[in-house]
């Protein structure tokens, strides 16, 4: 007979699997670069960016620019 903990672990795993299947975007893989000066709201903005946008923003930050300016086309 299954122990209560075994059943809880199976249910937790199933819930995790279902939630990951419902995700509509990739979870951030690039950590927020706290070593650069950030503007208010940058942490929340960072979590909404795609990995590609985050990498572009890192390049802008390393040149002294801002995360928001990396989102402007033509720069």
User: Based on the structure, what is the number of domains in the chain?
Assistant: 1
Question: In which region does residue 25 sit, left (phi positive, over 0), alpha (psi from -120 to 50) or beta (all else)?
Answer: beta
42 in a domain, yes or no?
yes
28 in a domain, yes or no?
yes
75 in a domain, yes or no?
no
pLDDT at site 38:
92
21 in a domain, yes or no?
yes
Which residues in the chain show pLDDT less than 70?
A: 1-3, 5-28
CA-to-CA distance for 75 and 69, rounded, in angstroms?
8
34 in a domain, yes or no?
yes
Structural domain including 36 reads: 4-70
Residues in the chain: 75
8 in a domain, yes or no?
yes
């Amino acid at each position: 007979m299954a122990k209560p903990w075994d059943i809880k672990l199976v249910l937790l795993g199933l819930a995790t699997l279902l939630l990951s299947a419902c995700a509509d975007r990739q979870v951030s893989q690039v950590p927020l670069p706290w070593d650069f000066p950030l503007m208010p709201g940058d942490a929340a903005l960072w979590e909404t960016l795609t990995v590609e946008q985050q990498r572009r923003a890192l390049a802008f930050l390393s040149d002294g620019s801002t995360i928001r300016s990396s989102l402007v086309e033509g720069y």
